[in-house]
Structure 1
């Protein structure tokens, strides 16, 4: 019995503090993941020119990506809630890798759709479990942990257009295969994060569940109302974010005669501003309350 008690303590003890190493690792992988994802809309002007696509066809590519990146994501999260799967983290990067490889060699419109779907699946598998890891490692500093995690993704989204301007515009569609190597780097880091998840994260998850049993549950109607408001706010946010991300480059080219590279630099600036706001949002939420920060950000 004494030996069992001693062996359990090291696993439980880390739950008291914030595991910054894990948070930074998952944030960096979030950066790599979202940078790979944002390459797709960043190269839309190149694809439109090379394949002779209409705006409607580009919209279908975006729809194919979003269906697997967004609609599939809650289903992955639902499964992860019932059965936590640490190794889904490194495994998910294989979809992103496959998507970039397919996009780099695609010579037909259907292949573009396949590549977009695979890229979206990589995002769907990555986000639910990685967000859970950030919360596990927070040590109770949820706003800080979430903002560090989220800013990695926002920074990656901003870097995608910059990478496209520097690499893809110069070396063409085939250079997307180079970015597939980032998926391998991310997979190696996530393998170590997954091992931490299995040895320490699940212990923290069980401890948090036990603490939750002692707290008064939120009434179902109140919880559903709160979730509905959040969904409405998130929906409104991503309608204009997705619209600007997908079509800002075309607007710059058509209205101001900008080159593809210059348009991508402007997209980088826009998405970089999103990342700056995310950095500020977490600490401000911990300081003044998350509800106030949410409403302020929407206004």
Structure 2
């Protein structure tokens, strides 16, 4: 290759290699707004169960529709934008979510609710891989921290679901969802700003992508080992997502049944799990930078097991404490698995983000339907005892290549 064909670095390149914190915080805030819109769906479950007489299986199908559309489309969007970046896809995606939440507020039937959540799912599918790419571009040399800032926004948005239920949906009912059109419009405005920054950086991103492609071509002999590592990551995401789905979608019903709580009071348990999960998501990246990504993934699941086994058998106060511990430990691997997959397959930032985050949504979607059906058949208590064993699958992380091995592969 001649030197003339090598893209020249812009004059501001040295500045651009640093971490762009303002972009990270804005995209993290947009992630919070996007996922708070998604959190309206499970937050409405107790409302819809009473107002429309929906079964647990139907509630699971609603979650399935939302998460499956998102999970299927995320890697597709990521794969496409790895080749043809689309900065303005970000505000377009949130516009789709805005239309979905508007439809949700007025939906008169189960079918129209499903159609509305499909629009929200499409918006999420577009946002997540491109949002992760923005975080990667703004990360500089702090990829773990950058991904944590981005992902903690999403987890914080999910943690708002109980607050949404208690403060908005309980007093206003289904129509209360209309307030989230304002949230979506705010996110669209922020994402237009992000898209302009993204567009200005495309020349740098294109140069980096070509370099990553060269690394990828050198690593074809490692494809089998990479495939095996991705399969292990899939099992780990399955365990984490199914357990998270059981708690976020159905533990409120369990708390109401076991502890005789109101709908509003039961949301405190979900809020504790989700907000501590957001804390764990933020801590996971810096911990992985210090102690290694594989170690954080391993500990995040196995250290959760004693708490998940105890949870179905303790009182209301102890369960609140346990849910906090489970949330912070279990979710510490969320952003880490994204970064691990991105470094496992260099040059496919959007694809790997779409695969790992989309897979988490997809696993959660399947879990929502399966767990809803299991609860209808076996009951809440039996189901909660059964899902407590899921984090044991974290033992598979022992089979993942070490961080040093990943670095060696990238240099080959």
Question: How many residues align structurally?
Answer: 294
Aligned residue for 1:286? 289
Distance 1:214 1:103, change over 3 A: closer
- TM-score, normalization by structure 1: 0.93
**Distance in 2 separating the partners of 1:38 and 1:47:** 14
Aligned with 2:258 (options 247, 255, 259)? 255
User: How far 1:13 moved relative to its partner?
Assistant: 3.4
SS in 1 for 2:10: helix
- 1:274 matched to 2:277? The reply is yes
Measure the CA separation in 2 of the matches of 1:201 and 1:110.
41
Unaligned runs of 5+ in 1: none
Alpha carbons 1:136, 1:201 under 8 Å: kept: no
Superposed displacement of residue 214, structure 1: 6.0
Q: Deviation per CA, 1:154-186, whole angstroms, max 9, x where unpaired?
A: 111001221221111112211111111111111
Deviation at 1:73, TM superposition (A): 1.5
TM-score (norm 2): 0.68
Give the Cα–Cα distance (whole angstroms) in 2 for the partners of residues 56 and 182 of structure 1.
29
User: Are the equivalent residues in 2 in contact too, given 1:39–1:161 (CA < 8 A)?
Assistant: no
- Report Cα offsets for 1:173-226 as digits up to 9, x if no partner: 111111111111111111111111111254135235426636853611111111
Cross-structure match for 1:30: 31
- Give distance in 2, aligned partners of 1:67 and 1:268: 24
Structure-1 residue corresponding to 2:196? 195
The superposition leaves residues 103-123 of structure 1 with CA deviations (integer Å, 9 ceiling, x where unpaired) of 100111111111121111111
Larger CA deviation: 248-257 vs 83-92:
248-257
Stretch moving more, 214-223 or 280-289: 214-223
Which residue of structure 2 aligns with residue 108 of structure 1? 109
In 1, distance between residues paired with 2:28 and 2:187? 11
Query: Is the Cα–Cα contact under 8 Å of residues 133 and 201 in structure 1 kept in the other structure?
Result: no
Tell me which of 207, 219, 224 is aligned to 1:221.
Answer: 224
Q: Describe the shift of the 1:64–1:286 C-alpha distance in structure 2 as closer, same or farther (beyond 3 A).
A: same
Q: Verify the 8 A CA contact 2:162 2:271 in the aligned structure 1.
A: yes
Asked if the contact 1:23–1:149 (Cα under 8 Å) also holds between the matched residues in 2, the reply is yes
- Pairing 1:1-299 to 2, within 5 Å after superposition: 8-10=10-12, 12-207=13-208, 209-210=210-211, 213=214, 217=219, 219-299=222-302
Equivalents in 2 of 1:130, 1:185: separation in Å?
A: 16
Question: Once the 2 structures are TM-superposed, how far is the Cα of residue 37 of structure 1 from its aligned partner?
Answer: 0.5
**Residues of 1 paired with 2:195 and 2:241: CA distance?**
30
Distance 2:72 2:9 in 1: 42
Instruction: Tell me by how many angstroms 1:40 deviates.
Output: 0.7
Of 250-259 and 271-280, deviating more is: 250-259
